[in-house]
Amino acid sequence: MDSARFTTTQRLSCQMMNPDLFKASDRTQTIQPPPKPNRSKSEPTKPEVVVDVEGKRCYYKGKILGKGGFARCYEMTDVASEKMYAVKVIPQSRVSKPHQREKIINEIELHKTLQHKHVVKFSHHFEDGENIYIFLELCSRKSLAHIWKARHTLTDPEVRYYLKQIISGLKYLHNKGILHRDLKLGNFFVSEGMELRLGDFGLAAKLETVEQRKKTICGTPNYLAPEVLNRQGHGTESDVWSLGCVIYTLLCGNPPFETLDLKETYKCIKEVKYTLPPTLSPSAQKLISAILQKNPADRLTLDQILTHEYFTKGYTPDKLPPSSCVMVPELNPPSPAKKFFAKMAKSLFGKKKSKVEKTPAEEKDDISKLVSGIVKCSISRQMSCKTVGPNEATPPMAPLASSGPTDTQAEEESRKSTSQSLKGTGASSNDPCEDALTPAAVIESAVKVLNDCLSSMPAASRNPPCLSKPKPFIWVTKWVDYSNKYGFGYQLSNQNIGVLFNEGTHLSLCDQRRTVHYCLANNKHFMFQADTLPEQLQSQKQIVELMANYMEQNLMEGGDLQYEDLPPPSASPLLLQWVKTDHALVMLFNNGTLQVNFYTDHTKIILCKSADDDSYLLTYINRERVSYTYPLSVLTDRGCSTELRHRMRYVVQLLQHHTGS
């Protein structure tokens, strides 16, 4: 958060509390997401600042995320750490009575004890004279209620995907003796990675015996169980009933007992009077019928739901693409190619042992199996997989400028042995270059030239004329993230396919797959004819071919940049490193090229050196995939649109943030 955006009073309040927050602008800057191209041009209002005097922290209040009877939920950002939260704000006026305050205290104390993958994380809380603030994990995809509103109905595979996660979180609560008592679409939150979290524990209560159960009617009318309406109290079966209503709502588009009159709704619930549409699959009809039973003892348990034929005989995806929040995703059971991928993973890596079980010797054994003696130097890049867009299939979180651990003497010997082994196969090879570009060097150059440009460019309302026929340069047209098993794959504009493997090696298929370019983690290069590739590299080549086929069949080109006279395959750049943020994917290449792909609108920025001299070119690909290339010097002299300037500034802030500069 730029300190200039605070009012004088807000700034002084924060500074007195923690003066270190405002000593350096780079420590108080928030990397802002790129703006939407057609946003309002009116001057933004200064954000409201919330101050935790006791904790000596400042937060600026962002957009409202939701509101209920007693509280509102806002997006808030810690000024110092830039961490974002979902914050439940409860006015003190709403908890003026002892029983009201006790209710909030109980919610806080209960939520504090919960630690589960599918439960919204509790961070901290504080209060001032006006409000109580409860800081929670921010789930950027909002909730199932928002997805349902956009989609109206979901497919069976999607419902299975979400239901498995709901049941996982709900079993955790029930095992701890906690009833949620308000299960509904709006209380199932969805993270950036499309993972579901149970939230809102305002009505949650400890499980009690039948005699001790509270007879209060609480919850959301459409999801209330008959025993709750009949004042028989809540048990775990009441949560299961609500879950059945959730399943029905997601598949049918409306709650099972919804009517125009609340009394009629309650009557239908007590009589279990609802209709199963014929459009539902037979297994879905059976599942809903087995859950929505009037007698709590007759309902399926959570474990029985998971073993029901609805799950056992139906396909459940491992991941859902973010696009499924607004449109029906293309979901199919694993294809033969994907099955081959899974089989290949098992043959290459075997079954994973836990970190506790593995000894250093076992670690070395596993690593040596990967590629005949090539030692693994960077395991931190293995991350989760998710589909993002038509020319990309998603991203991990890796440090931007890490060099990996230093080689031990044994590892160095192993590298030399591998190098000698490959030399004996008739490959052409190049020794590591002492002046080869590192990720840090690419970042340093990019930050310098972009900063120089941004600091000098005049204000402008539009972009200057672009180059009509820019000299050819190579960029990434498609990419796919399989780093949970193998590495990061990408297709270049010259049709070469490369994969940066998790252990640090790199293999490219060049010249229409006739040539193989192989690079060890120590930057030693080898070139082979595809038909003379050593046996020890065949497995990696197969993985690259599978990724290439996947991208060819499933992903679109990322822009309209097409050249007939591209540099020769031997001049093809290699990916040095890649990193994912909440808004973009960054790729750094050994020829100094930097490419940033923005997820939301699929715009891209490519910074590369001109083929004629050492000057820089900046290419912007807009959301329609139309490209515009400018000499950076022209942007410096003539300025550019707000849209492009904000993206350039975002790139600089992102690079500085991840390198600590």
DSSP assignment, residue 285? H
Asked whether 299 and 237 are in contact (CB, 8 A), the reply is yes
| Residue 88 assigned ligand-binding role | yes
CA 652 vs CA 2, 269, 426, 578, 618: distances in Å: 14, 57, 44, 15, 14
Question: What crossing angle do the helices spanning 360-370 and 336-349 adopt, rounded to 10°?
Answer: 130
Beta carbons of 135 and 187 less than 8 angstroms apart:
no
Q: CA-CA-CA-CA torsion for 522, 523, 524, 525, nearest 10 degrees? A: 150
Contact by Cβ (8 Å): 610, 471? yes
Contacts of 330 (CB under 8 A, 6+ apart): none
182 catalytically annotated: yes
507 vs 529: CA distance, rounded Å: 13
Nearest Cα neighbor of 208 from 174, 159, 251, 182 is: 174
Q: Whole-angstrom distance between the N-terminal and C-terminal Cα of the chain?
A: 16
SS3 48: coil
Take residue 368 and report the two structure tokens written for it.
């040596």
Position 644, amino acid:
L
- Spatial CB neighbours of 295, under 8 Å, sequence gap ≥ 6: none
Q: How far apart are CA 44 and CA 376, in angstroms?
A: 49
**What are 346's two structure tokens?**
């098992």
Active-site choice (156, 182, 239, 481)? 182
Cite the active site residues: 182
Q: Give binding residues for ATP as ranges.
A: 88
Q: Give binding residues as ranges.
A: 88
